Amino acid sequence: MNPSVKGSIIFALALVSLLFAPLRAANDGKAAVKSIKIEGVRSLKISDLKKVMDTKFPNWIPFAQKPDFNSGVLKNDLKNIETYYQANGYFDASAVYTAINGKNESLVRIIIKISEGEASIVDGISLRLSLLSAQDTTLLAALTGLLTVQRGKRFNYKLYETSKKKILLYLNENGYGSATIEGKVQVNKLERSVNILFKIQEGPLQEFGETAVIGNKGIKTEHITDELTFEPGVLYSSAKVSQSSVNIFNLGLFQSASVTAEVSSNSAVVPVNIKVVEGDKRQLRLGIGYAAEAKVRAGAQWSRYYLWGRPRTLTIGASYSAIEENINAKIAQPNFFSRNNDLSVMGAFDREAVVSYTNEKISAQLQVNRNIQRNISIFTAYNLGINRPVDLDGMINTDDISATPGSSYFISSLSAGMNYAFVDNPAYPAHGITYSQYFEQASYLLGSEADYFKGVTECHLYGILISEFIIASRLKFGFISPSRFTADIPIFKRFFSGGSYSVRGYGFQQIGPKDEAGNPLGGRYQIEGNIELRYPIVGKLKGIVFVDSGSIYQTNFSFNESELSYGVGTGVRYVTPIGPIGIDLAFPVLLRQINFDAYNFYLTIGQGF
């Protein structure tokens, strides 16, 4: 490493130490917590006990300010710990603490000693319905199968409450909209046993009645009721009511939409009221972002809802960045032959200006999207495109790029794919998975001047390591294979790698084969992997450390770990409702050595992965 860089780092560390030095002193003369030790825990997790405590544990960060010591708060924490043990079947558990002052009387070491006692076991579980009939006998068997609390196991209050919720949900979704449930827990401390009684008032079996719509002015009533997942006379289900409300709101025509079932224990018929507040049928959205390669990204989108008196949307948009310009128009039609299908027709003009080429493209697409489940969708599309590479300035041999500047290339293809997303927070995920697949076949049978088969698979995984420490990972693989009389893939259809949303530590598209002048040529195969540790700093400010890897293969794919290009680095993120704002510092890894002299900075707005 350059001596001046080393000196700068040492100076920065020294400055940080000076800034945090005052925090080592006592907290304004108050006693502070030096350490907390919990003893006697055998059956539960200490990490779970910490969650019920209001007393703060000392931070692992050096020089950080110690939390205040408050005996009143700590005594309440002991009660919370005992209550938590009782909720897990230890009804005789007790907790006491000892506070020890060291040489510095302002710092207190806390030792919490727990006596767990013996666990109480569930001895019996009874379900009692209000009615007795053959139908209810069948119902009783179905409800029994929903129980999460089990006989012969240690009592767990959470499982007990979950059982109540599952029973009530099942009843509400299967015709018993007025059902109620009451639970009773009897504890015998001498015998260490627990008996549970679920008393159920199921009420009458109910069906949907007539539907009334309130608040619609310009939107036709039938276009609202078309989104309902039920009809009069169908068995009542609270799930169908909720989904209908979502369907109506997702039309994009209303500021608010609610579907309310008028459930009564005195009636077997449930009338439904739909209340809507219409929104503006015209909407303009503006957006701005930033990335290291694209620089400032700006976009505008104008939408016209309820086009031609039907739930159909016209969208016209434009976007601009240093590497791409786009103008597009799209018409989307929901409920295409089925409530789960959407049809869209789109036309666009794109100009892509990257390191090795500039390509102008006019395209059209007809796509049908189908929602399989709430988090899963599939699609199929027919694509037309006229590509024209321009402004190569003779820098690259046309044989290397399989394209002639100024010539037009007509590509006609069929594509299909699927998307799966299940994450807790799309703007900054801590737990979940996203997965996507894309396949495309261009063929002379469709009139295409290039024949190829293309596929891309990408998966993102998120998980909590400990507390607010999050592991995020990404894996991507892509291929494109020429066929028939197409000898090679035109450069504007190839894969490229390197950059802020790819493999950090390298310049934009700088991984993979290059010509004699150093221009990226791309390839037929791409593999990329990222793993990132995200940790808290303060408030919405988060830190990250990461390892990225990837490679581009020009003709044949033969995976070899040693051929991958690696990048390592660190960065910070400020989390906002629309996504994080981030700064990353990354270094390439060459011959298993980090090259500190070839660092790259990346400024991004939005979630990378």
What digits encode the pLDDT tens for the residues 265-275?
A: 999 999 999 99
- In the prediction, which pLDDT does 577 show? 83
- In the prediction, which pLDDT does 404 show? 74
Same domain, 195 and 217: no
Domain tally, the chain: 4
Same domain, 187 and 272: no
Per the domain annotation, does 59 fall within a domain? Answer: yes
Question: Which tokens belong to 397?
Answer: 């041999």
Where is the domain boundary, 139, 170, 201?
201
The SS3 assignment for 244 reads helix
Same domain, 195 and 211: no
- In the prediction, which pLDDT does 587 show? 95
Residue 234's CATH number: 3.10.20.310
CA distance 332 to 316: 12
Q: Is the dihedral of CA 515, 520, 523, 526 positive or negative?
A: positive
Residue 401's CATH number: 2.40.160.50
- In the prediction, which pLDDT does 274 show? 98
205-214 average pLDDT score:
96
pLDDT for 553 beyond 80: yes
pLDDT for 115-163, tens place per residue? 999 999 999 999 998 865 546 778 889 999 999 999 999 999 999 999 9
Written as one letter, the residue type at 309 is G
Same domain, 464 and 508: yes
CA distance 609 to 604: 12
Where is the domain boundary, 115, 131, 161?
115
Q: Which residue has the higher pLDDT, 425 or 416?
A: 416
Same domain, 58 and 183: no
Same domain, 213 and 172: no
Per the domain annotation, does 444 fall within a domain? Answer: yes
pLDDT for 392 beyond 70: no
Same domain, 333 and 311: yes
CA distance 466 to 469: 5
Inter-CA distances, 446 with 310, 383, 450, 453, Å: 33, 10, 10, 13
Report which of 575, 553, 572, 551 is spatially closest to residue 502, judged by C-alpha positions. 551
Per the domain annotation, does 5 fall within a domain? Answer: no
What percent of the chain is modeled with pLDDT above 70? Answer: 91
278-292 burial code (b ≥16 CB/10 A, e <16): bbeeeeeeeeebbbb
246-254 average pLDDT score:
92
Per the domain annotation, does 4 fall within a domain? Answer: no
pLDDT for 9-50, tens place per residue? 433 433 444 344 444 444 445 789 999 999 999 999 999 999
CB 421 within 8 A of CB 381: no
Per the domain annotation, does 446 fall within a domain? Answer: yes
DSSP 493-539: GSB-B-STTS-TTS-TT-BS-B-TT--B--BSEEEEEEEEEEEEEET
CB 532 within 8 A of CB 408: no
What percent of the chain is modeled with pLDDT above 90? Answer: 72
Same domain, 274 and 287: no
Per the domain annotation, does 48 fall within a domain? Answer: yes
Q: Pairing state of beta strands 107-115 and 32-39?
A: parallel
Highest mean pLDDT among 23-32, 251-260, 404-413: 251-260
Same domain, 254 and 363: no
Same domain, 458 and 428: yes
pLDDT level of residue 189 (50, 70, 90 thresholds): very high
Query: Could you tell me what percentage of the chain is helix, strand and coil, using 3-state DSSP and rounding each to the nearest 5?
Result: 20, 45, 35
Where is the domain boundary, 100, 115, 130?
115
Other Cβ atoms within 10 Å of 423 Cβ, number: 17
- Which range marks the domain in which residue 152 is found? 121-201
Per the domain annotation, does 10 fall within a domain? Answer: no
pLDDT for 5 beyond 50: no
Same domain, 108 and 176: no
pLDDT for 52-97, tens place per residue? 999 999 877 666 778 999 999 999 999 999 999 999 999 999 999 9
pLDDT level of residue 603 (50, 70, 90 thresholds): confident
pLDDT level of residue 398 (50, 70, 90 thresholds): low
pLDDT level of residue 592 (50, 70, 90 thresholds): confident
Same domain, 254 and 302: no
CA angle 313, 314, 315 (to 5 degrees): 115
Per the domain annotation, does 16 fall within a domain? Answer: no
- In the prediction, which pLDDT does 133 show? 54
99-105 average pLDDT score:
77
CA distance 604 to 304: 31
pLDDT level of residue 394 (50, 70, 90 thresholds): low
pLDDT for 453-487, tens place per residue? 999 999 999 999 988 899 999 999 999 999 988 98
CA distance 505 to 165: 50
